[in-house]
Structure 1
């Protein structure tokens, strides 16, 4: 069973500031950085698939989650020091053992040997291409951040050395065609940037705050929220024993479910419900914005999947091969629907995890002493809806009880 301690570790990345020894125009957090990394890894993986490469998406998702947890545990080590430690084999193994001593108890309650696979992931010096995709995505996300930092940090000693090091790390992955194309197109006019423009557009969700009108600790961005939902949805489907496509869709459905907010901003539920028909009108405007501003940045062959992630995002669906759009189900996914060939999408689990993250955000702020009527009312209404709920045969109410 997913434990409270594991959820707290995942959420703690929202409090970890990046570049906190540099002047910054905004706060950069580890959670948002990791979310951006996953989006970039998705773009690289899909691009390489289009070129005929075989991509193990389970390795990208699971490996990315392992790396995320690893980074949270060693957050006090500055990146230059961390990279030097990881480059030294004896020190790397010692550090990884220390990290696993802390992660193993949190991962061992999960089914399918997840904890052992995490240990193996850091013990073995394998050369799987998916690890390089994740590394490239990591450095590209760092480069995207640094371009904001650089303009503010020109007087800082060694800032040019930092710039050169980031550029060197990116260049080491230029043999990956998807990376090379992203770097080349990044300097093109906005109308021609394509996938580089998509990555930049998604990155802007770092600047949009959740609960924007309510003071909270920690503040969370929409981009960080997307990763929180993605990881929790993936963990829940993993616990149900869901097939590979279910797990894939749970993760990326969670990662992209609020993508329209890069164009419409985060509109809180009470506002959406305040006027009859407003919620539906907002959805229509969001889909119009996706069609005009997002899809043109992506290869046409990617459009159906992206639309499947952002349209009817909280409905259970199946999407068999050859069918142009998913079929909405009025029932839980399980049994006959839990098959790779039906490509099931757990919209109700993604919705439950979306509400769970909001519940945790409110609970943690209240616990830390930043309170408001909006936080108390939001927490109360969410708990009333999910306290005893079972979704797709999973007792999600237990996860809400952790933070009651």
Structure 2
């Protein structure tokens, strides 16, 4: 079962500031950085598959989650010191063992098998497989994207060029990955020619879009950070309900991409969408057109089917077998067990929706717990709790998650 303690650790990343010893045009958080990293990892991994390389997607997803939790626990160590410690086996093993011990209760309560994979991931050779290399490359590309903003404000700082050189050196070491080579070549081209680099740059802009933009709240969260929270929680529930590998993959990346169109439309709050009959449908149609015009031209044609699957009808259960021209929307709250196989390509839109609403509920609850509240937060919290209290999906007690923060 997903514990309250584990949820709090995930949300804690929204309070972890990055580059806090540098002048910054905006606040950069660990949560948004890790979300950007996982989207970049998806791009690199898809590109590797296009080159005929085999990948184990569960290892990539879980590796990203494990590294995220690892960084949350070790948040007090500055990145340069952190990376030096990780480069020395003796110190690395001591730190990693301590992290494993700190997370053991939470992860064993969720899944003993997942905890064993987590422990093995942290206590084995970090250069052992392609998935780890992809995650490392994604880490440095996400860091580079942030640093390009930091650098313009930090030129007078002592050592800033050394930081720049080190980030560039780390990225250069991953040129063997085809997507890294392509992105480095395309980043200086005009926007319409940037391709996959343009895609990750556009997605990165979601970190500038605040959730609850007109409501004071602590900690603030961005749309980009919210995507990772929904993805991780959706993946954990997929594990709990025995989802097949493809369904678990879809639930994670469906959560990670479900608000992607908001990079073009901004985060329009539910009361506005629901205030005029037909407005929500009109917004959805505009989002589809904007995606066709501005997002899909940046990615390979072969990827567009999957991104559409993740971003359209995102809160409905659906299947999409390979020989079907379009997804089949399922009207039921739950996907039948006969459809729980890789060939049916199922995705739990209802699970993603529950995690999306739960994320909003926790955001409101955490802010109110610090004393920063408003009628909007109080109303949203009460409505969400009323909707999901006692609710179950596939026997999983979704309502209990809401009880944790009520």
Q: In which range does the TM-score fall when normalised by the shorter chain? A: over 0.9
Helix, strand or coil at the partner of 1:217 = coil
Helix, strand or coil at the partner of 1:108 = helix
* CA–CA distance in structure 2, aligned partners of residues 371 and 122 of structure 1: 39
Alignment correspondent of 1:60: 60
Alignment correspondent of 1:37: 37
Alignment correspondent of 2:371: 369
Contact 1:349-1:392 within 8 A present in 2 as well: no
Where do 1:70-109 residues align within 5 Å? 70-109=70-109
| Alpha-carbon shift at residue 189 of structure 1 (Å) | 1.4
Where do 1:125-164 residues align within 5 Å? 125=125, 127-164=128-165
Alignment correspondent of 2:124: 124
Q: What's the CA shift string for 1:155-204, capped at 9, x where partnerless?
A: 11100110011011111111111111111111111110010000000000
Contact 1:348-1:392 within 8 A present in 2 as well: no
2:229 maps to 1:233? no
Structure 1 runs of 4+ off > 3 angstroms?
A: none
Alignment correspondent of 1:115: 115
Helix, strand or coil at the partner of 2:11 = helix
Helix, strand or coil at the partner of 1:313 = coil
* CA–CA distance in structure 2, aligned partners of residues 57 and 66 of structure 1: 14
* CA–CA distance in structure 2, aligned partners of residues 272 and 177 of structure 1: 41
* CA–CA distance in structure 2, aligned partners of residues 392 and 230 of structure 1: 18
* CA–CA distance in structure 2, aligned partners of residues 180 and 26 of structure 1: 29
* CA–CA distance in structure 1, aligned partners of residues 165 and 103 of structure 2: 33
> Which shifted more, 174-183 or 14-23?
174-183
Alignment correspondent of 1:213: 214
> Which shifted more, 22-31 or 321-330?
321-330
| Alpha-carbon shift at residue 6 of structure 1 (Å) | 0.4
Helix, strand or coil at the partner of 1:76 = coil
Alignment correspondent of 1:327: 328
Aligned residues: 404
* CA–CA distance in structure 2, aligned partners of residues 191 and 337 of structure 1: 40
Contact 1:317-1:347 within 8 A present in 2 as well: yes
Alignment correspondent of 1:203: 204
| Alpha-carbon shift at residue 394 of structure 1 (Å) | 2.2
Structure 2 unaligned regions, length at least 5: none
RMSD (CA atoms): 0.8
| Alpha-carbon shift at residue 112 of structure 1 (Å) | 5.4
* CA–CA distance in structure 2, aligned partners of residues 309 and 281 of structure 1: 19
Contact 1:304-1:324 within 8 A present in 2 as well: no
| Alpha-carbon shift at residue 390 of structure 1 (Å) | 1.4
| Alpha-carbon shift at residue 104 of structure 1 (Å) | 1.1
Contact 1:334-1:392 within 8 A present in 2 as well: no
* CA–CA distance in structure 2, aligned partners of residues 328 and 209 of structure 1: 31
* CA–CA distance in structure 1, aligned partners of residues 238 and 291 of structure 2: 27
* CA–CA distance in structure 2, aligned partners of residues 392 and 287 of structure 1: 31
Contact 1:318-1:344 within 8 A present in 2 as well: yes
| Alpha-carbon shift at residue 321 of structure 1 (Å) | 1.7
* CA–CA distance in structure 2, aligned partners of residues 337 and 121 of structure 1: 31
* CA–CA distance in structure 2, aligned partners of residues 42 and 90 of structure 1: 32
